[in-house]
Every structure is written in C-alpha cells, then in structure tokens.
Structure 1
Amino acid sequence: MKWNEVAKVRMKDLGMTQEKLSEHLGITPGAVSHWLNARRSPELEVIARILHILDIDEFKVDKNGSIFTSEDFNNSSCATKKINCYPLLSKELIINYVDDLGSNEADNFANEWIESGAVILGKGFWYKVEGDAMLSPTGFSVPSGSLVLFDMGRVPQEEDLILVMSKNNSELSFKKIQSDGHRRLLVPMNPRWPVDVITDEHKILAIAVESKLKLK
C-alpha cells in the first residue's frame, strides 16, 4: 500500500480526522488533504512524522514508494520470509575495503547489524545516506540519514539506484543510473545536484534494494 492509503486506514482505526492531524502537524487541513489524496507528495521526513503521529514507528519503504508496516511484517506471507542481518558499513569502511567488499573482512569492523527480508543475490550491506542528492521535490525520496540496503550480486538496470565510487578521489555517490545514447549517467533525484557521466574512473559497487528511515 502507498503511505497515504496506510495513513487513511490508520486514521479510521484511531478515529482521527484530517483537522486533528493537521493540528498535530501545525499545517492547514487543506495541505493534509492534498497529501492524503495523493494530489501532492510530501518528503519522506514528513511521511515519517505523520505515521509517527498515527502510532506507526516501524515501517519500510519499497523502491516503488510502497509502505510496509510492522503489521505487514507479521502477516502470513511475511512470517515465512527469510530474515537476515546485514552490516551497516560506514563511508570510510567501504572506501578502505572497496576491493574486498565481497568478502567478510569489512564486516568485522561494523558496529551495527540490521535485519531485512529482502532477497539478496550477492553480498549485502547497509549504508547511511549522506547529502541531499536523492531528496526529490516530489514523489519518492531517499533523504540524508536514510539507511539503504545494497546488493552486490545484481547487475545494474535502467533506473536502478546504485552506489558508485569515483576512483580518482575516492568519493561515494548514491544516484540513479540512466542511459543517454551510448552514455550511462548518474542522475540525482534532487534537480539542484549535477548529473555525472559514468566513466572508467567510476566503480559500481552495489544496487539499492531497500531503504528505511529510523526515527530513534
């Protein structure tokens, strides 16, 4: 379900009106109505705040923008899903062990492991997003501070979100891959950020398969 559908169902269960929700948010009922009826899309931080007000503190956002709550995790189809834990790797760890990410060497230095039921084809790891390159003014976003699960076993396809390292300056980029003729581009969701051309100086590390934003 989309986040607004989840919110409307939860509001009905709690007996909460749009006016009451708008009071909690400190905005007009009209703005809330636009969001709940999908006429406009708030940022992920706002969605998280709305769901928190509705007593939904644990949720995951799929690539297409669908929301999965803890109730979804516990239903019959999810209960049989295999859950694994993957290391949360810092930027420094990824850069320092870039040639050995497929092994477990960097995992030994991870301070946190996070579970997921996502299907991982290769080596999986979590990374905390830095910067606003993937903060879209409308629709699905991956804001700074989001936790993203990456899979090193997938082949990048058009529109995939990928983690890339620039070999010449050892910087990480998290952007969407798109084609422009014979060129492959790194495209941000934030129009204020530059589009980069993928060259031999770039190393594609992994494909994003899941993202979530921790509130606490």
Structure 2
Amino acid sequence: KANMKGRKVTQEKLAERLGMSQGGIGHWLSKRRQPKIEDMNRVLEEIGMGFLEVALVVREKPVLGDDGEPLADGPALLNKYNPYFRYPVSDWRVAGEVREDGQPAYVPERYELSDYQARGAAFWLVVVGDAMIAPSGLSISQDMLILV
C-alpha cells in the first residue's frame, strides 16, 4: 500500500494493469483475501518493484518458552531432521543367515548412511575381490559398499 501511494499507483490503475477488478485489489489490500504467489509477483512488477520476488519458504517455527519468548538455545534443525537412512554393514559369511524368528543371525557393529530409503530390510556388503569388475561398462571395485 505504502509503495503504491509513493508511486501514485491507485487501486484502479493496478487493477487495469493486472487485468482485474478494483474490488479484487481492494480485497487484497484490506486483507480479506490473499493473492496467489504468482499474483504477488505480478503486483511487484507493476508497481516498479520487480527486483523483489515473493517465494514460498518452509522454515522452522521457533520454540517458545513459558514466557512466550523464543528459546535461543533450541536444537538446530539439522539435529532434528536427518535426511539419511542408516543400514548395518554385514559380513559375507553371515549375510544370508537368518534366525528362526526371522531376525539376522549377527549383531551389526558398524552402520553406514544412505539417502536411499530401502523398501524393506537392507544391509551393506563390502565387495571382496574382483568378481564385480567388468571388462567394459559399470564396475564395482574391491572394498566398495553395495546396498542389498
């Protein structure tokens, strides 16, 4: 509103430039309706503020204390949200062994991360030897991890 006034752009002029009614602009300015992001960017362009852009941003809500003030020492977002999945690293000797209850017969000592979410139980295996090396095309060399 303040920028429109300073640039002498009336609701009628803005409505004409945007191909809308003056009433529609009035609803936005009185906060009875909220424009779409695309419309907000068109308005910025039309009132000479095209160097700005309205964008949808997802951000973390502040954690408030008992007094209603934001807590400054809350955990970082990265500590709350980890986009990786953790899988155990298995040994070739026990990779296929399963107990009667369906659980793995080994207790994993090491875990590795992946951004891939397996559709079921999964584990890492360390490639041993040159069995997965191809004369041409894709090869998987010794000591690389494969997710099974």
Question: TM-score normalised to the size of structure 2?
Answer: 0.39
The structure whose RCO (Cα within 8 Å, separation 6+) is larger is 1
Name which one, 1 or 2, has greater alpha-carbon Rg. 2
Higher strand share: 1
